[in-house]
Chain A
Amino acid sequence: MVSSESGAIDIKIARPSFTLTDTDGKPFDFRTRTAGKLTFLEFGYTNCPDICPVHMANLAAVLRNLSPTERQQVMVLFVSVDPDRDSLPVLRKWLDAFDREFIGLTGSRDDLNAVQSAVGFGPAIVQAATATTTASVTHAAPVLVFTADDTAHVMYPFGTRQTDWARDIPRLLDRRGASRAAGSASAAAPTIAVERAYIVLPPGDAPAAVYFVARNSSRRPDSLRTLAIDAFGTASLHESVHDHATNIISMRAVAAVEVPARGALRLAPGEFHGMLAMQRRPARGDSVPITLAFAKSGTVTVKAKVIVYADVDTATAKR
């Protein structure tokens, strides 16, 4: 089994179809060009100070130890979600520092958002630099791994170590091994009940946030992987992070959040929350269906009441 040993998260995503531009400036048809290969897909940006270079360096180090036959079956694709700063030469130079075989892709913001949505990730949030702040990019951190059966059965969150990749890659190269991992994930399904779901609509076009409580009545922990509000836009999991040194609160995307065995996961203001980028905004008082995907329990759909900031105290008190 792949996931339980390495901390990888069980998923099931079909290899998507999309075309972006590679670092030679040519169109790259992802589904056709990577079909049948063990494909590592990461979204990030070259100015990333931590997650992206660590993932790339560790993957490159592990791939160097594969046999030539195994190496030929593996592709690593890095999709830059910061096209304004990551020109094709910049992206190529950055990837070459890790491995010249790594493929760099980018495209327009709309294309990149569509690709991220296609694999279940929320769109990256790029904030341009101002006079007082540096540019920042919030993006999904996990590395998706598509196996020879053209399906991603696992994704690797930040924190995956070289020993994890080294142990898992031979198994992932074996399609049956990957299938076993997915099968084992769905074998035991804890019961998840979601309650007290509400969406807080901010003024203007800022992203909304969704909060709820997910209760796990089984003896095994589960994890919340993704959430979706298909009728209104895209959703992604985030965590509020308080830097005590600077007293700045920022948000970072998270790959998954654990739901403890016989316990509850609470998404609440200032903690974990779902960030909603809405193309169509619901009205105050509406009930919006939200689909939550859990690693072991599958999907759960729940209706979230839409409120505004003025309702927050009342809404949370009643709940």
Chain B
Amino acid sequence: MQWWCAALGETWTWNWRAYPGVWLFVIGVALLFRWIPGKGSWRQAKTGERVAFVVGVVVLWLSLDWPLGPIAAGYLASAHALQFLLVTMVAAPLILLGARTGTAENLPRRAIARFFPSTAGKVHTGVTMIVHPIVAVIIFNAIVAATHVPTVVDTLMPTASGAFLVDLGWLAGGLIYWWPVIMPIPTYKVFGVPMKIVYLLLGTLFHTVIGMIMLSASTPLYGTYELAPPVFPIPPLADQQLAGGIMELGVFFAIVIAVGVIFFRWAERDERGLKPL
């Protein structure tokens, strides 16, 4: 039994396989994002936030576990792109949405101080620094770029620990990227709605470049998928182009939806004479 989905080069079968590492990881993420907002936050959260949290955790689980997980790890670049999209653009923001209520009160000092009393201030400073919009967008783009370099993919995906590192990087990157937009803390005076829209668009910079490279390359970029035993009758180059299309269109739609939500909520609050979120 493997603990995480990896590219083993084995012939694909539709026989179910267990990946206990995925289950533990998803449970761990769910527990972490219930712990951050603290006790009672679930009851205080709005229904929409609770639904978002559950859907986010389920999407994370479905994107990492069988069958999408192993197909994405070692058979189809398009499945790999879909998994990337689901983890970074669907699961990460939904989990953060579900953990909004209570985070402002619990995260800054008290929750960290419980475990790291002597370093609470430093840890808090570190967390605050990472989710600063400028730092966050750089980190996210760096993770996106690094995890799509062919040598990196072909080196990491054949091992469970390497594939885990890629998936962990994506989730961490997605959470860091969406944090400044969704989470109530830290707050920045200049990070209003227009800046949030600019920020979200800046986050798609490397997606767009990578998607374009995948769409325009004349040969497959990733040996992992080029030499994989076929799952569906789709040639490796067409699979890569499909992956590029998913990167381009999928991320575009995710950002358009996010920008739309931010814009309409801002307009609604403005109409009611409330302060923007």
Which residues of A pack against B, CB within 8 Å? 49-50, 53-54, 57-58, 60-62, 65, 97, 158-159, 161-163, 166, 243, 245
B220 interfacial contact with A, CB 8 Å: yes
| CB <8 Å contact, A49 and B220 | no
Check A49/B219 contact, CB under 8 A, given A58-B226, A162-B236.
no
List of A residues within 8 angstroms of B12 by Cβ: 49
Interface string of B219-234 (1 = CB under 8 A from A): 1100100111110010
| CB <8 Å contact, A61 and B236 | yes
Smallest Cβ-Cβ distance to B235: which chain A residue: A57
List of B residues within 8 angstroms of A50 by Cβ: 9, 11, 229-230
| CB <8 Å contact, A61 and B223 | no
List of A residues within 8 angstroms of B11 by Cβ: 49-50
| CB <8 Å contact, B237 and A161 | no
B118 interfacial contact with A, CB 8 Å: no
User: Count of chain B residues with Cβ under 8 Å from any Cβ of A?
Assistant: 20
Q: Which of B204-255 contact A (CB under 8 A)?
A: 218-220, 223, 226-230, 233, 235-237
Smallest Cβ-Cβ distance to A243: which chain B residue: B10
B190 interfacial contact with A, CB 8 Å: no
* 10 A-B contact pairs sorted by A residue (CB < 8 Å): A49-B230, A57-B236, A61-B235, A61-B237, A161-B219, A162-B219, A162-B220, A162-B236, A162-B237, A245-B1
| CB <8 Å contact, B230 and A162 | no
| CB <8 Å contact, B229 and A161 | no
Complex Cα distance A125/B230, Å? 23
List of B residues within 8 angstroms of A57 by Cβ: 230, 235-236
Complex Cα distance A65/B223, Å? 19
Which residues of B pack against A, CB within 8 Å? 1-2, 9-12, 17, 218-220, 223, 226-230, 233, 235-237
Check A49/B229 contact, CB under 8 A, given A161-B219, A245-B1.
yes
B158 to chain A, nearest CB (A): 12
Complex Cα distance A97/B230, Å? 13
Choose one: B2, B10, B219; the contact of A163 (CB below 8 Å). Answer: B219
List of A residues within 8 angstroms of B229 by Cβ: 49-50, 53-54
| CB <8 Å contact, A162 and B9 | no
Complex Cα distance A65/B237, Å? 12
Q: Beyond A49-B12, A54-B227: 15 further Cβ-contacts under 8 Å?
A: A49-B11, A49-B230, A50-B9, A53-B230, A54-B226, A60-B235, A61-B237, A65-B218, A97-B233, A159-B227, A161-B219, A161-B226, A163-B219, A243-B10, A245-B2
A164 to chain B, nearest CB (A): 9
A125 to chain B, nearest CB (A): 18
Complex Cα distance A62/B237, Å? 10
Closest 9 CB pairs of A and B: A50-B229, A49-B11, A162-B219, A163-B219, A57-B235, A53-B230, A49-B229, A54-B227, A61-B237
